[in-house]
Structure 1
Amino acid sequence: MINQNNSPNPTKEVAIADDKNLMGIAQYLKDAQTGHKRSIPPLEQFTPKHCGTMDLKVKANGEWWHEGQLIKRQALIDLFSSVLWKEQGKFYLKTPVEQIEIEVEDEPLWVNQVGRVEIDGKNYLQLTTTTQDIVIVDAEHAIFMRDYVAHDGSVELRPYVHVRFGLNALIQRAAFFHLIEMGQLLENEQGDTILSLQSGDFYLQLGT
């Protein structure tokens, strides 16, 4: 007769493994940090082993959830976002020793600030994410529009910018309105409204 009280609990074992993996990544980040300045590790140089999946989800509204619990500490989100990696359409947390798959509903980064910065006498668009990434808009870090399909099947045209390692950031609504104010709204031959933007010598047009 099997004693049900002593039988393994797969759900509990997975949760313990998730906690161990998350704490291991947090410890690596803590050890790798120098001073108070946020830095991105050279993830492209790491060749770790794949260590399965973790119950960590970045929702389409920018919230981070671990094992069904909302992560409220922004400092912790900032740390984990610095080791985000995308490979063959999947998202991971990546360190020198392990690469763990997580779930991302849309994109894991969000732009909430838009401004201009002068570099070598030229004005560039500068975007800042909620996790303190600074992106200078150019050909390699272009702004683009893409459809997002929600769980209810509705489709929304959203603006994004490429950040690094295949990762994009969603430009929040207030930040995008600021971009519109900084650019020019034009009309093409089909009568569609086009947003024209310039960053340095880089020009781009977005269908809105």
Structure 2
Amino acid sequence: MLDLQDVLQSLEQRKKAPTELWDPPYCGELPIRIDEQGNWYYQDSRIQRIELVRLFASVLARENDDYFLITPAEKVKITVEDAPFLIVGWDYIADTDPRVMQLTTNIGDRLPLSANHPVILRDNYPYVDMGQGLVAKVHRNVYYQWVDAAEAQQQNGTKQLIIQSAGQSFVIGELAA
């Protein structure tokens, strides 16, 4: 049986540059856009090379409602239509007690659904906290799979759909009465 803390730490490996430690000058806006499906565009042409998208994602930061690509030398603003990432897959890690749900993003990052990366509901639709103000929208297919796996529980006068991971309960939606 694997130790829960060891599993969570192994999934928390940093894939992001330490942008919070840098304070470069603001250099304007770049014509980079991330659409509602997590696709990245430069001047309205989709960026096809996943390695380039991963590089940009590693220096992506959010300040208030704005998104920036930050390097030690410069800071440029980009457009994000909804969320910069998309949760496109999930599975349970074998031999963990309690069970840990591992999530996969559209750029191949993996993270545990845990207290550090909880579900956030926006207009009754689930997103996952990626840390440092960044979120990932849960893809519709993943959401439907979660609904199938969820338990309905009555809380605060509403019926909520709950999934479990890493010893935590996460609300993924509410049902009409």
TM-score of the superposition, structure 1-length normalised? 0.70
Secondary structure of the equivalent of 2:99?
strand
- Contact residue 64 and residue 70 of structure 1 kept, 8 A: yes
The 5 A counterparts of 1:85-100 are 85-100=61-76
Offset at residue 118 of structure 1 (A): 5.2
1:30 equivalent in structure 2: none
Q: Distance in 2 between matches of 1:142 and 1:119?
A: 22
Q: Distance in 1 between matches of 2:125 and 2:173?
A: 11
Q: Distance in 1 between matches of 2:169 and 2:44?
A: 43
Offset at residue 158 of structure 1 (A): 2.4
Q: Distance in 2 between matches of 1:61 and 1:129?
A: 11
RMSD: 2.3
Q: Distance in 2 between matches of 1:50 and 1:175?
A: 37
Q: Distance in 1 between matches of 2:50 and 2:14?
A: 13
Offset at residue 99 of structure 1 (A): 1.1
- Contact residue 126 and residue 173 of structure 2 kept, 8 A: no
Identity %: 28
Q: What does the per-residue CA deviation read over 1:107-154, in whole Å, with 9 as the maximum and x for residues that have no partner?
A: 10011011112586331121110112222122221112213xxxxxxx
Paired residues, number = 162
- Contact residue 57 and residue 66 of structure 1 kept, 8 A: yes
- Contact residue 114 and residue 178 of structure 1 kept, 8 A: no
1:195 equivalent in structure 2: 161
Offset at residue 39 of structure 1 (A): 3.0
Secondary structure of the equivalent of 1:123?
coil
Q: Distance in 1 between matches of 2:97 and 2:26?
A: 45
Match of 2:93 among 94, 97, 117: 117
Q: Distance in 1 between matches of 2:78 and 2:18?
A: 20
Q: Distance in 2 between matches of 1:122 and 1:189?
A: 26
Higher helix share: 1
Match of 2:144 among 151, 157, 177: 177
2:106 equivalent in structure 1: 130
Q: Distance in 1 between matches of 2:163 and 2:14?
A: 29
Matching residue's letter, 1:205: V
Q: Distance in 1 between matches of 2:166 and 2:19?
A: 28
Offset at residue 62 of structure 1 (A): 2.0
Unpaired segments of 5 or more residues in structure 1?
1-36, 148-156
Match of 1:51 among 24, 27, 33: 27
Q: What does the per-residue CA deviation read over 1:12-69, in whole Å, with 9 as the maximum and x for residues that have no partner?
A: xxxxxxxxxxxxxxxxxxxxxxxxx993212222221111111111111222121121
The 5 A counterparts of 1:1-208 are 39-117=15-93, 121-147=97-123, 157-187=124-154, 190=157, 192-208=158-174
> 1 or 2 for the larger relative contact order (CA 8 Å, sep ≥6)?
2
Q: Distance in 1 between matches of 2:77 and 2:130?
A: 19
Q: Distance in 2 between matches of 1:188 and 1:38?
A: 35
